[in-house]
């Protein structure tokens, strides 16, 4: 049997006020209605002492809000790499006294439609539509039925929905600056993409943006990218093969790998020919996958801010919910979250 729920009438009696006064105080309207500070304090203390919890259904009927949000993703919910994205969203929701319903589509269109409909059936106040990796998505029609935000995704076509994404262009700039500040001016090769902006795997939005930032900073320093090596997928075996082929023709001074998994493969290829990181070749990468701190030497990388992305998505969604209640159209902006550099042991000054 569940414990008996404390009622509003009991809180009012404990505080020595009317039920109406207790209700107004707990709804946050004490100042608006000029209820004295001492009465407000008595009600708040009584609610705390009695462990009072408002009835969510009653509050929803009164305010027109369910105090719940939906989080629909492709594979984020079961991905270890992006687990902090959900943690950030959960904590942001909790800070506002909201509950987050989470569902995963596994990339299946029918399951996606069903989950979005289920969220609307439960009358969530808004929905976060999340992707495991940064990409352009076709916005589902059901998503525009109420307030919604795209997380780690941008719309393929013009859309009123706002997006929360990592600042990949600035991340590319940061990676290039790390090498320049270490003294690298030549022999810089890219593993995974480049050197041209169109030299990226299909749908690799992050690749285009990272490459844009890298190229901008190096060009500004009058440093030429020595070469780029496109990989059809960004897995260790592809990084290994691209680096192995590079080493057949040249001796690089530095590698910018487009993600950490590629860097793992690059490490192995360098080791196979007796080259050491960072004394012979510096390596910098992106994402801050757990492997970046496991391999030796530890990998300097520009981190995906998963927690901050999730937290920011809830903040943006709440603002959109307020706009919707006011009858204001969605803002449709792109919010970019900074990606910090994790300085470790894989970058050093080039040898003489």
pLDDT for 1: 41
pLDDT for 330: 83
Question: Measured between alpha carbons, how far is 110 from 118 in angstroms, rounded to an integer?
Answer: 12
Residue span of the structural domain in which 41 resides? 8-54
Coil/strand/helix, residue 239: helix
Phi/psi at 223 (5° precision): -110, 130
Any domain includes 260: yes
Question: Could you tell me if 299 and 192 lie in one domain?
Answer: yes
Question: Could you tell me if 242 and 174 lie in one domain?
Answer: yes
CB of 175 closer than 8 Å to CB of 254 = no
Question: Measured between alpha carbons, how far is 27 from 305 in angstroms, rounded to an integer?
Answer: 35
Question: Could you tell me if 160 and 208 lie in one domain?
Answer: no
Any domain includes 127: yes
Question: Measured between alpha carbons, how far is 326 from 238 in angstroms, rounded to an integer?
Answer: 51
Question: Could you tell me if 17 and 97 lie in one domain?
Answer: no
Q: Which residues pair with 337 in a beta bridge?
A: 166
pLDDT for 225: 97
Q: Write down which residue in 282, 304, 326 finishes a domain.
A: 304
pLDDT for 61: 46
Angle among Cα 184, 198, 288 to the nearest 5 degrees reads 55
Question: Could you tell me if 268 and 191 lie in one domain?
Answer: yes
Query: For the chain, what is the total number of helices (H) and then of strands (E)?
Result: 12, 12
Any domain includes 351: no
CB of 143 closer than 8 Å to CB of 178 = no
Question: Could you tell me if 174 and 264 lie in one domain?
Answer: yes
Give per-residue pLDDT as tens, 115-157.
899 898 888 999 999 998 899 999 998 898 889 999 999 999 8
Residue 102, domain CATH: 3.40.50.2300
pLDDT for 58: 55
Any domain includes 343: no
Question: Could you tell me if 26 and 106 lie in one domain?
Answer: no
The count of domains in the chain is 3
Any domain includes 1: no
Any domain includes 345: no
CB of 223 closer than 8 Å to CB of 192 = no
Question: Could you tell me if 125 and 156 lie in one domain?
Answer: yes
Phi/psi at 197 (5° precision): -65, -25
Any domain includes 350: no
Place of tokens 């969605």: 330
Q: Which residues pair with 137 in a beta bridge?
A: 155
Question: Could you tell me if 280 and 331 lie in one domain?
Answer: no
Any domain includes 344: no
Strands 127-137 and 334-337: unpaired
Question: Could you tell me if 264 and 138 lie in one domain?
Answer: no
Q: Cα 75 to the chain's mean position, in Å?
A: 13
Question: Could you tell me if 174 and 297 lie in one domain?
Answer: yes
Place of tokens 């995704």: 153
SS3 for 1-60 is CCCCCCCHHHHHHHHCCCHHHHHHHHCCCCCCCCCCHHHHHHHHHHHHHCCCCCCHHHHH
Question: Could you tell me if 123 and 195 lie in one domain?
Answer: no
Mean pLDDT by 10 residues, the chain (352 residues): 74 92 81 86 90 64 71 74 86 90 86 89 92 90 91 92 97 98 97 92 90 97 96 96 97 97 98 97 96 96 96 96 87 94 97 66
Would you list the DSSP string of 79-145? -STTHHHHHHHHHHHHHTT-EEEEEE-TT-HHHHHHHHHHHHHTT-S-EEEEEEEEEEEPPPGGGGG
């Amino acid at each position: 049997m569940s414990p008996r729920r404390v009622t509003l009438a009991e809180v009012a009696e404990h505080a020595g006020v009317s039920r109406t006064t207790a209700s107004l105080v707990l709804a946050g309207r004490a100042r608006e209605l000029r209820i004295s500070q001492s009465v407000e304090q008595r009600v708040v203390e009584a609610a705390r002492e009695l462990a009072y919890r408002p009835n969510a259904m009653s509050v929803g009927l009164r305010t027109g809000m369910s105090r719940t949000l939906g989080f629909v993703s492709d594979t984020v919910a079961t991905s270890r790499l992006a687990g902090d994205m959900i943690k950030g969203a959960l904590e942001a929701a909790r800070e506002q006294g909201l509950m987050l319903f989470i569902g995963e589509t596994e990339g299946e269109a029918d399951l996606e439609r069903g989950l979005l409909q289920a969220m609307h059936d439960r009358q969530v106040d808004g929905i976060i539509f999340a992707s495991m990796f940064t990409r352009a998505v076709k916005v589902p029609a059901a998503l525009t039925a109420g307030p919604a935000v795209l997380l780690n995704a941008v719309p393929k076509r013009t859309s009123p929905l706002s997006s929360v994404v990592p600042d990949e262009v600035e991340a590319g700039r940061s990676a290039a600056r790390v090498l320049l500040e270490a003294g690298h001016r030549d022999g810089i090769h890219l593993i995974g993409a480049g050197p041209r902006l169109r030299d990226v795997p299909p749908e690799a939005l992050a690749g285009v943006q990272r490459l844009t930032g890298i190229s901008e900073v190096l060009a500004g320093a009058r440093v030429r990218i020595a070469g780029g090596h496109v990989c059809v997928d960004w897995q260790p075996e592809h990084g290994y093969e691209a680096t192995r082929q590079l080493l057949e023709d040249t001796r690089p001074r530095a590698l910018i790998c487009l993600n950490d998994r590629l860097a793992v493969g690059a490490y192995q290829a360098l080791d196979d020919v007796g080259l050491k990181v960072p004394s012979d070749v510096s390596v910098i990468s992106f994402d801050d996958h757990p492997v970046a701190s496991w391999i030796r030497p530890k990998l300097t990388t520009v981190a995906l801010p998963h927690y901050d992305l999730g937290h920011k998505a809830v903040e943006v969604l709440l603002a959109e919910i307020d706009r919707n209640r006011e009858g204001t159209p969605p803002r449709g902006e792109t919010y970019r979250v900074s990606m910090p550099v994790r300085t470790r042991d894989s970058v050093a000054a080039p040898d003489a």
